[in-house]
Amino acid sequence: MATGRNSQGLPWALPLGPTWVLWRHIYCHGELLHQVQMARLYPDDKQFVDMPLSTAPDQVLQSFAELAATYNNTVPREQLEKFVQEHFQAVGQELESWTPGDWKESPQFLQKISDPKLRAWAEQLHLLWKKLGKKIKPEVLSQPERFSLIYSQHPFIVPGGRFVEFYYWDSYWVMEGLLLSEMAETVKGMLQNFLDLVTAYGHIPNGGRVYYLQRSQPPLLTLMMDRYVAHTGDLAFLRENIETLALELDFWAENRTISVSSGGNSYTLNRYHVPYGGPRPESYSKDTELAHTLPEGSWETLWAELKAGAESGWDFSSRWLVGSPNPDSLGSIRTSKLVPVDLNAFLCQAEELLSGFYSRLGNESQATKYRNLRAQRIAALTALLWDEDKGAWFDYDLENQKKNHEFYPSNLTPLWAGCFSDPAIADKALQYLQDSQILNHRHGIPTSLQNTGQQWDFPNAWAPLQDLVIRGLAKSPSARTQEVAFQLAQNWIRTNFDVYSQRSAMYEKYDISNAQPGGGGEYEVQEGFGWTNGVALMLLDRYGDRLSSGTQLALLEPHCLAAALLLSFLTR
């Protein structure tokens, strides 16, 4: 076994040598992957790259080479279908359902929920953890070259739907929900899986598949550890793993850093950046088709920017198209040319938490190091991303040397992350939301105000983005701003509850124009759903004594919402 990086930028954690090379030629790139995906044997490209091999990879590739030679390197669709049936297993064979051993009836937070309908619904959400539990079979450990799934020792909770493996940033909100469900052992196991990945690869991949190894996702590992330790007091676990937390931050410092000059000063911040080309294996045909709308010389750049967009978690959004010559086309994506507010807020928070961890463990030199890094980052956020006139932070366009003033909930992430010093900032953020007319939306906070057909744009709303805004506003000492946070929570809970009442399902995203499951993007909306359940439980826990399953706000005209919020405060 070894760790490191090969010439393609893929970290090693499997046996090096011929087996590793052949394995990559099936799941990550190569002629077999190209012909199968471009033949569109399946409605979703992800299906093929999730299929385990029936035999060793060298045998699969040898058989395919012989087949390709028979047909002058262009294998007919019917023969490709037959080949896949003979050499691959059905999706999901390497996973088994798992019921968490620490699941129990009636966790205490349920008693906080006054509305009986919401309490019954919360009980159903608590039950969903049983349906979303997965455990990896031992053959993935003994024969890793036959699987695209990355082995994890401990069982875990998945998002749901097509996402049957772990995903990095999803797991933070899942863990918040699990801790409310008093499932700390499940959380510890998931944390250990992530820590093992950092040890093996130097970072946490986007998700639990080998084809995700070139990219990560928003860095929330240190926050996950903080929530677990706060819940359990398990300092021994923290002490054992604190250097691994630091190692993950090193990955972002060494591989995703950019220097920006402004006003005669130089600032260091981070961006999403995946410097490796090739189509994403799980979206191979779409990426290839998109490339063919552009000059061939720009294909590798396009594919690298698509991977960076996937690393952001916002795959895809007008946020990554702004400033391009054709901002309506995904072919103009330029993720790495923007310094994102949320990424830098997440890292700022991680630096603060890591400083606190080291201090608790008696290592003041390391505590000081991360305290200073946080201070430097806040100074950079203030100098480059903060706009005093608008009362929010904004992504910085490196090429055009200006802020992107479009609305995204991520603009308020530093508030959620505690990366600010002025206590009045939360109230300025409220004014920003009013000025942007975000409070007029009755069913949730939109992901943007641009309707592009991408899933991280209007009219979709996503659970983690609701959390960023609601808990950010709730930090305000102002009763009015706190009241707006509650009303936004009420709107989101009602949307989730109403859709669940109609469909008996939770979804990854919602269409706030009609309070229905969301749409757009590269695949159909998925049920489950890990982070949506987690955020719903968090809001039910925080506001359970006040939340209602009724429909009084739904009777308001949109333009009346802001006034209603103020009236609600004045009449309390």
User: What's the rounded mean pLDDT across residues 540-546?
Assistant: 98
**Mind giving me the DSSP string for 322-364?**
TTSS-TT-GGG--GGGEE-HHHHHHHHHHHHHHHHHHHHTT-H
User: What letter does residue 266 receive in the DSSP assignment?
Assistant: E
Whether 40 and 285 have beta carbons less than 8 Å apart is answered as yes
Angstrom distances, CA of residue 464 to CA of 72, 217, 499, 517, 535: 50, 14, 18, 16, 7
User: What's the rounded mean pLDDT across residues 542-559?
Assistant: 69
Cα 418-419-423 angle, rounded to 5 deg: 70
Q: Please, which pLDDT band fits residue 569 given cuts at 50, 70 and 90?
A: very low
The predicted structure's pLDDT at residue 551: 60
Quote the CA–CA distance of 190 and 197 in Å, as a whole number: 11
Structure tokens at 113: 């929920």
Q: How many CB atoms lie within 10 A of CB 100?
A: 20
Quote the CA–CA distance of 359 and 355 in Å, as a whole number: 6
Residue among 439, 420, 409, 187 nearest 313 (CA): 409
Q: Please, which pLDDT band fits residue 564 given cuts at 50, 70 and 90?
A: very low
The predicted structure's pLDDT at residue 324: 87
Whether 102 and 157 have beta carbons less than 8 Å apart is answered as no
The predicted structure's pLDDT at residue 421: 87
The predicted structure's pLDDT at residue 1: 38
Angstrom distances, CA of residue 35 to CA of 65, 244, 303, 381: 12, 40, 18, 46
The predicted structure's pLDDT at residue 70: 97
> Which range has the worst mean pLDDT, 181-195, 319-333, 376-390?
319-333
- Total length of the chain: 572
User: What letter does residue 450 receive in the DSSP assignment?
Assistant: -
At residue 349, φ and ψ (nearest 5 deg) are -65, -45
Q: Please, which pLDDT band fits residue 20 given cuts at 50, 70 and 90?
A: low
Q: Which amino acid appears at position 347 of this protein? A: L
Structure tokens at 336: 């790495």
Whether 256 and 271 have beta carbons less than 8 Å apart is answered as yes
User: What's the rounded mean pLDDT across residues 334-350?
Assistant: 98
Buried b (16+ CB within 10 A) or exposed e, 23-40: bbbbbbbbebbebbbebe
The predicted structure's pLDDT at residue 17: 47
The predicted structure's pLDDT at residue 19: 57
- Return all residues near 91 (Cβ < 8 A) that are at least 6 apart: 47, 50, 51, 164
Q: Please, which pLDDT band fits residue 13 given cuts at 50, 70 and 90?
A: very low
The predicted structure's pLDDT at residue 9: 41
Q: Which amino acid appears at position 466 of this protein? A: Q
Mean predicted lDDT score pLDDT of the chain: 93
Map tokens 């826990």 to a residue: 541
* For residue 4, pLDDT beyond 50: no
Quote the CA–CA distance of 317 and 270 in Å, as a whole number: 19
Beta bridge partners of 136: 95
Q: Please, which pLDDT band fits residue 570 given cuts at 50, 70 and 90?
A: very low
The predicted structure's pLDDT at residue 328: 87
Percentage of the chain modeled with pLDDT above 90: 88
Residue among 522, 10, 34 nearest 215 (CA): 10
Whether 519 and 511 have beta carbons less than 8 Å apart is answered as yes
Could you read off the pLDDT of 445-464 as tens digits, one per residue? Answer: 999 999 999 999 999 999 99
Map tokens 């220097």 to a residue: 259
Residue among 218, 214, 187 nearest 202 (CA): 214
Q: Please, which pLDDT band fits residue 143 given cuts at 50, 70 and 90?
A: very high
Residue among 442, 484, 444, 471 nearest 460 (CA): 444
Of 45 and 561, more confident: 45
**Domain boundary assignment for the chain:** 23-50+54-87
User: What's the rounded mean pLDDT across residues 232-236?
Assistant: 98
Please name the residue ranges forming H helices in 413-524: 413-417, 425-435, 463-473, 479-503
Buried b (16+ CB within 10 A) or exposed e, 154-165: bbbbbbbbbbbb
Q: How many CB atoms lie within 10 A of CB 306?
A: 26
What is the maximal distance between C-alpha atoms in the chain?
A: 80
Quote the CA–CA distance of 244 and 120 in Å, as a whole number: 40
> Which range has the worst mean pLDDT, 16-30, 34-48, 139-153, 186-200?
16-30
Quote the CA–CA distance of 277 and 260 in Å, as a whole number: 25
Crossing angle (nearest 10°) for helices 425-435 and 479-503: 50
The predicted structure's pLDDT at residue 522: 85
Q: Please, which pLDDT band fits residue 524 given cuts at 50, 70 and 90?
A: confident
Of 421 and 216, more confident: 216
Could you read off the pLDDT of 386-439 as tens digits, one per residue? Answer: 999 999 999 999 999 999 999 999 999 999 999 998 889 999 999 999 999 999
The predicted structure's pLDDT at residue 567: 45
Of 325 and 226, more confident: 226
Overall pTM surpassing 0.85 (yes/no): yes
Residue among 535, 515, 551, 532 nearest 470 (CA): 535
Catalytic positions are 315, 508
Structure tokens at 42: 């399946």
Structure tokens at 269: 């911040």
Structure tokens at 202: 């130097």
**Mind giving me the DSSP string for 503-532?**
HS--BSEEETTTTEE---TTS---B--HHH
Q: Please, which pLDDT band fits residue 474 given cuts at 50, 70 and 90?
A: very high
